[in-house]
Structure 1
Amino acid sequence: MAALCRGRYRWKRINCFHVLTRNLTGKYDFDLVVVGGGSGGLACSKEAAQLGLKVAVLDYVEPSAKGTKWGLGGTCVNVGCIPKKLMHQAALLGTAVKDAKKYGWQISGPVCHDWVTMAEAVQNHVRSLNWGHRVQLQDKKVKYLNMNGSLLDQHTVKGLSKAGKETILTARNIVVTTGGRPRYPTNIPGAVEHGLTSDDIFWLKKSPGKTLVVGASYVALECAGFLTGVGMDTTVMVRSIALRGFDQQMAGLVTDYMEAYGTKFAWRSVPKRVDKLSSGALQVTWVDSLTGNEQKDTFDSVLWAVGRAPETKALGLDKLGVQLNKQTGKIVVGADESSSVPNIYAFGDIGEDRPELTPTAIKAGKLLARRLAGHSTELMNYDNVATTVFTPLEYGCVGLSEEEAEMRHGKDGIEVYHAFYKPLEFTVAERDASQCYLKVVCERAGDQKILGLHFTGPNAGEVTQGFALGFQCGATYSHLLQTVGIHPTCAEELTKVHITKRSGLDAMVTGC
């Protein structure tokens, strides 16, 4: 063993365990260079460094069309999950203040929201996370370069600083995790000049005021939800359907609740142009796709949430022969996150057919690092990844939608158990619970394996996370019924669900 401690191998003490690692650097500057400092790229780089590899990370934020820029950490930290959830919480607190009066709290005077106070607090928290990521990289001896990275060949990365300085790095392996950025519509006059995206909304110094949100993705609905919740006059313009790719019955419940909550919807509408008036207001012209009628209204802000584009164009991948999906622009990857070119890997939002979710990118990055370091052969399992849409009434899900389950197994091959329920918290507050609903989609035959689980209600993410574990263990409907619920909670309703859609019986929960 002493001989192994010399030459190409060395012992490292990691988390109180001795791990044998190989010095792979050889003729390269680094064992691994990661291009992109989002959640996945950071997780991959830190894991690789902890396993003994010499690692560098390049990260650079190209300012948005409005000039918004931010620090290390990628979309989730700066313009996604983190600020979104905090602003969602601000909106929930506004609803809680209204409920509080029914619970006996004496609240004198009008209650109003101050955007500036909220925005400063959220932005300060994000900046603290930016700093924390830099410290972590330093502590784990990962070299961080605030540079725009591009690939020269399968072992060479060029870094370009803001000042135009070039740095060349060579690496045994290169990982691309540059993620994506919001799209602007290219065929609508005034869209770019006068519009915002999710890259901007969280960094506004003043209130966006009366806002039109164009799009019906989860990003669009989440932003519209918290804007309504903090008191903005908010309209969502939907071309076709809401939450494409999600269970459509659940999507309908989410938007029904939002309408009751105060968000306006312009259904089947397509924006035509955006003009800035002399008053400073934005006049939006759109067409009702059913009637063909043209309509106009004025707004203070227009937020485009019409999809995201992968950050692949400036990477030089075409010159290297890295295969991209021509329609999406994403990198085609294998089960091990490898691209079509040896030694180049990609995962996260930039990978074709990968969920655009932070936790999947983090886990995939760690597993890839372990494989590259020779410590594991485990691949990322992308099946049954749970997620939650943080709309005013949250929607959590894991597994297949009812539509997808029916497509795969046939209508007679599935059984759907469902229930409408009323959260106890809604009773005293006299809140409408018409859209609080859950359903469990199962195979109809045999043990009735659970194929999909869907839940709209308070704290949907917290509820869904626990049940997602069951999917990894092959949960069946009988397992669900054998689980004793926690009373009184919303989550317990999932353990009691027994009415099938097929039966046609009333699915409203009454009593305990």
Structure 2
Amino acid sequence: MYDLVVIGGGSGGLSASKEAARLGAKVAVLDFVYPTFYGTRWGLGGTCVNVGCIPKKLYHTAAIFGHHIEEAGHYGWEDSSRPGIPLEGKGHKHVWERLRENIQNHIHELNNGYITGLRSAKVQYINARGSFKDPHTIICDATCPTCDVVGDRKTEITARRIIIAVGGRPQYPKIPGAKEYSITSDDIFSLQNPPGKTLVVGASYIALECAGFLTGLGYETKVMVRSVVLRGFDRDCAERIKDDMINTGTNFIESCIPLGIELLPDGKRLVTYENVNSKEKFQEAFDTVMFAIGREPLTKELNLEAAGVKVAEDKKIWTWNERTTAPHIYALGDVAHKVPELTPVAIKQGLMLAKRIWGNSKLLVNLDHVPTTVFTPLEYGSIGFSEERAIATFGEDNIEVYHSEFTPLEYTVPHRRSRCYAKLIVNYLDKQRVIGFHYLGPNAGEVTQGFASAFVAGLSLDEWNLVVGIHPTCAEEMVSLRRTKRSGLDPKKSGC
């Protein structure tokens, strides 16, 4: 019998398993990836490493390099074959196949590193899907009807404690041709050929991030949204991101939903869609159609009833500090109900859960002020309350919004049009505590991460303003905010 079996080899499961083993537990990790409908498959490491954060950030970086090439002439660079002619960015070509190959090679190195890491930690890795036979028995099933595996390959193992960390997969809409003629974010990073003219359906951060880097790499890209973009994020910031994407070449098809997809003789996808307000129907052909309309947890095949584990209406698992309705079974990461679907959250949950069970720790994960970044062309970092949620929670008269529109120094020489934005939200009812942080600009992840510590410390606005900024940086804007929304003054900043 194992002390711990982890079902799911993503970031959270690996974090929990290695820490538990370090603290003396006998641990096994089960991980098995079914190919997508399109046929994409990947190795150990979960969504983030294989089809999420890692490839997304690298494709985003590739698009940024394209912008740098276009602006290099303003900084004195010239083509050595054309002396005296500033480098304008014209004539350069992006090679999708080369980028894909280099990124996939890096991901394969990470996959191998995780296997080696489990071996070094003395964690047994079992390449099989796990499901419950009873509260302490796991059926390990390596049978895969869609893989090159034949025969019934099932075994059973038992464990005193079990962690469920299976994550989720992208959803498809229930329309004709959706699965047959489209892809999801699980497939976009592995496409053998350039995507060409692309339709991205969805308004989530995944949809906008993918659309942003596709436009940046030179592909005509349209985003179809039913209502608002980035629901749940600060509305002001979300609209600024959308406006910036439009200004940099991404087109939006608003208030529309797809009705069906057909394959044309030339291989293109004919999308029929409808305006939800006027009910008018349209058609347009694309080389690639990608859905990013949400994700669903992989709980269906776990047979949770046999273990006494209950799920919510969204099929995610009910948890209280990672514990499920079965006292010896835990769930963390994207599969847990009302837990932010973010890799660092799952990692922290796994690490701290193992420390509580085997290391006598009392510390819990604080999910109130989780920092996050959206890697759209104009990057967005946020912590805590959006302006809308702050007003709904504390009342408009009890909060203050400090904000500024600014131009990063590096944008000035090439005359880049994008304007960046900084916003702090303060709660007057709690000693002017800073409760919301929003930053739109370059290197948003790096800027936001450092300020997350201020939220953990619970700094007031006066304490926040004691911080001396580093000049000239974008981050210093966050400690230099003096103009309030309530004042009605123009937030645009001039000078340095």
* TM-score range for the pair, normalised by the shorter chain length: over 0.9
What pairs up with 1:86-235 in 2 under 5 angstroms?
86-107=58-79, 110-162=91-143, 163=149, 164-186=152-174, 188-235=175-222
Give the match for residue 293 of structure 2.
306
The alignment partner of 1:199 has SS state of: coil
Aligned partners of 1:320 and 1:364: how far apart in 2? 21
Are positions 1:329 and 2:315 aligned together? yes
Give the match for residue 146 of structure 2.
none
Aligned partners of 1:282 and 1:249: how far apart in 2? 34
Give the match for residue 461 of structure 1.
445
The letter for the 2-side match of 1:64 is T
Report the Cα offset of residue 374 of structure 1: 4.3
Q: Deviations over 1:234-284 (max 9, x none)?
A: 000000110011011100011100011100100111111101111111000
The counterpart of 2:340, out of the listed 351, 355, 369, is: 355
Aligned partners of 2:459 and 2:238: how far apart in 1? 25
The alignment partner of 2:436 has SS state of: strand
The letter for the 1-side match of 2:286 is F
The letter for the 2-side match of 1:317 is L
Aligned partners of 1:446 and 1:295: how far apart in 2? 52
Q: Deviations over 1:290-337 (max 9, x none)?
A: 2221111100000000000000000000233311002x10000012x1
Give the match for residue 434 of structure 2.
450
The alignment partner of 1:298 has SS state of: strand
The letter for the 2-side match of 1:150 is S
The counterpart of 1:366, out of the listed 351, 359, 363, is: 351
Aligned partners of 1:231 and 1:385: how far apart in 2? 34
Aligned partners of 1:81 and 1:511: how far apart in 2? 36
Give the match for residue 473 of structure 1.
457
Aligned partners of 2:160 and 2:279: how far apart in 1? 58
| Residues 423 and 433, structure 1, Cα contact 8 Å, conserved in 2 | no
Are positions 1:383 and 2:363 aligned together? no
The counterpart of 2:264, out of the listed 252, 255, 277, is: 277
Aligned partners of 1:209 and 1:151: how far apart in 2? 44
Aligned partners of 2:140 and 2:327: how far apart in 1? 21
The letter for the 2-side match of 1:369 is A
Give the match for residue 6 of structure 1.
none
Aligned partners of 2:95 and 2:430: how far apart in 1? 56
Q: Deviations over 1:167-199 (max 9, x none)?
A: 11111001000000000012x111111010011
| Residues 447 and 478, structure 1, Cα contact 8 Å, conserved in 2 | no
Aligned partners of 2:15 and 2:34: how far apart in 1? 22
Are positions 1:487 and 2:481 aligned together? no
Give the match for residue 498 of structure 1.
482
Aligned residues: 480
The letter for the 2-side match of 1:420 is E
Give the match for residue 83 of structure 2.
none
Aligned partners of 1:447 and 1:361: how far apart in 2? 32
Aligned partners of 1:454 and 1:404: how far apart in 2? 13
Give the match for residue 25 of structure 1.
none
Report the Cα offset of residue 444 of structure 1: 2.7
| Residues 154 and 342, structure 1, Cα contact 8 Å, conserved in 2 | no
| Residues 228 and 262, structure 1, Cα contact 8 Å, conserved in 2 | yes
Report the Cα offset of residue 446 of structure 1: 5.8
Give the match for residue 494 of structure 2.
510
Report the Cα offset of residue 288 of structure 1: 1.4
TM-score normalised over the length of structure 2: 0.95
The letter for the 1-side match of 2:132 is L
Structure 2: give runs of 5+ residues left out of the alignment: 80-86, 144-148
Aligned partners of 2:481 and 2:452: how far apart in 1? 17
Distance 1:446 1:245, change over 3 A: closer
Give the match for residue 342 of structure 1.
327
The letter for the 1-side match of 2:94 is H
Aligned partners of 2:222 and 2:388: how far apart in 1? 28
Give the match for residue 84 of structure 2.
none
Are positions 1:415 and 2:400 aligned together? yes
Structure 1: give runs of 5+ residues left out of the alignment: 1-28
| Residues 36 and 178, structure 1, Cα contact 8 Å, conserved in 2 | yes
Distance 1:165 1:445, change over 3 A: closer
Give the match for residue 42 of structure 2.
70
Give the match for residue 16 of structure 1.
none
Q: Deviations over 1:422-474 (max 9, x none)?
A: 0000000110133x111100013563100100000000111111111100001
Aligned partners of 2:463 and 2:493: how far apart in 1? 20
The alignment partner of 2:413 has SS state of: helix
| Residues 135 and 306, structure 2, Cα contact 8 Å, conserved in 1 | no
Aligned partners of 1:318 and 1:85: how far apart in 2? 38
- Tell me which stretches of 4 or more aligned residues in structure 1 moved more than 3 Å: none
Identity value in percent: 51
The letter for the 1-side match of 2:377 is P
The letter for the 2-side match of 1:207 is P
What pairs up with 1:12-91 in 2 under 5 angstroms?
29-91=1-63
The letter for the 2-side match of 1:65 is F
Aligned partners of 1:430 and 1:502: how far apart in 2? 31
Moved more, 157-166 or 246-255: 157-166
Aligned partners of 2:229 and 2:383: how far apart in 1? 18
TM-score normalised over the length of structure 1: 0.92
The counterpart of 1:236, out of the listed 202, 223, 231, is: 223
Aligned partners of 1:469 and 1:341: how far apart in 2? 34
Report the Cα offset of residue 356 of structure 1: 0.3
Aligned partners of 1:475 and 1:36: how far apart in 2? 37
Q: Deviations over 1:56-79 (max 9, x none)?
A: 000000110111100000000000
Are positions 1:297 and 2:278 aligned together? no
